[in-house]
Amino acid sequence: MIAALPAPLERLIAALPKVELHLHIEGTLEPEMVMAKAAHHGVDLRWGSVEALRGAYQFADLQSFLDIYYAGCDVLRDEQDFYDLAIAYFERAHADRVVHAEIFFDPQTHTARGVAMGTVIDGLVRAQRDAEARWGLTSKLIMCFLRHLSEDDAFATLDLARPYLHHLAGVGLDSGERGNPPAKFERVFTAARAMGLTPVAHAGEEGPAAYIREALDRLAVVRIDHGVRCDEDPALVDELAARRVPLTVCPLSNLKLCVVKDLADHNLGRLLAAGLCVTINSDDPAYFGGYIADNYRATAAALGLDAAALKQLAQNAVEAAWLPLTRRVQLLSEIDAL
């Protein structure tokens, strides 16, 4: 349950121009769309109804979520599916006053099923263009490697992406973290950086603080996705603060995947107060019970964040985004004025 917030904070959260930096587009696949796409393509699902599917969204940890998340992806087959998925997210994000989003996609989940890289990217890019034309919502694509798969598989994926490089801004690293350290992908990330792609990686979600340091040192990432376990290493926390390395934190995801027992226990407020460039994001909102504004509201209520902290969080996301300076300055002053 999301506790009630004072009305001025509700209004502030609604009004904040938001930048979303940790969003898996496949994680925006709502049960209604899963069912509709399954019927359209004649896919047999384990779940017979929207309610049954939504009822299955009870997770003990990251892996129990990933099993359902990858199963849901099976209904995404053609360019229109990827378009429909992304335009639905952009429309929902626009309703939350998201003005810019840097979104992940997991091509290996699709190419492994015989869906071409071009099918995925063409659908996403068409939705990006429509979102900008309709709502002025700009976006970038970050191609993620699945860390439970091999280095060879990641290299093959990078190769498949070559014809579409102009559509990509960065590369990321996601999926099951434990036992799959960043160093496993050091050579792939070196190659991706040489191709002009900006590196980010999930680290310190379920994995140890050492994976955060490894992602910084060996993958040269410019942001850490999640990163909440950084506080197991005080020297690392100091370094993240001094360097203003952004952490793309996802509070409702952390709650749903049992990374924290209670939102009130979340270290987001402490990390923010310690000067880290903490941001709030929704990760896989169709599965975790809330989009970005829900994450702001739930976190503000659980941690007692005030207006200044909420504005700082929104400004951190502007600082952490890959935006031209003029847009950055404009958004920062828009937030200041609220």
- Binders of ligand HPA among 47-66, rule CB under 6 A? 62
Catalytic choice (26, 79, 205, 206): 205
Provide long-range contacts, Cβ within 8 A and 24+ apart, for 193-199.
193/220, 195/158, 195/162, 195/165, 196/165, 197/143, 197/165, 197/168, 197/169, 197/170, 197/171, 198/169, 198/170, 198/171, 198/222, 198/322, 199/170, 199/171, 199/172
- Binders of Zn ion among 251-310, rule CB under 5 A? 283
Q: Tokens in use for 282? A: 């929704």
Element (H, E) at 279: strand 278-280
Q: How far is the CB of 178 from ligand HPA (least distance, A)?
A: 11
Map residues 69-98 to x or -, x wherever contact with ligand HPA holds by CB under 6 A.
x-----------------------------
Structure-derived torsion over alpha carbons of residues 74, 108, 287, 25, reported in degrees to the nearest 10: -100
Q: How far is the CB of 153 from ligand HPA (least distance, A)?
A: 16
**Is-catalytic flag, 26?**
no
Q: How far is the CB of 136 from Zn ion (least distance, A)?
A: 26
Does residue 84 belong to the site contacting Zn ion (CB under 5 A)? no
Q: How far is the CB of 250 from ligand HPA (least distance, A)?
A: 7
Closer to Zn ion by Cβ: residue 146 or 192: 146
Q: Tokens in use for 197? A: 């792609």
- Binders of ligand HPA among 266-325, rule CB under 6 A? 283-284
Closer to Zn ion by Cβ: residue 20 or 283: 283
Q: Which residues contact 122 (CB under 8 A, 6 or more apart)?
A: 79, 82
Closer to ligand HPA by Cβ: residue 17 or 227: 227
CA–CA dist 224, 99 (Å, integer): 21
Q: At what angle do helices 151-161 and 186-194 cross, to 10 degrees?
A: 10
Note the residues at the interface with Zn ion (CB under 5 A): 283
User: Could you list the active site residues?
Assistant: 205
Which positions touch ligand HPA (CB under 6 A)?
A: 24, 27, 62, 69, 174-175, 202, 205, 253, 283-284
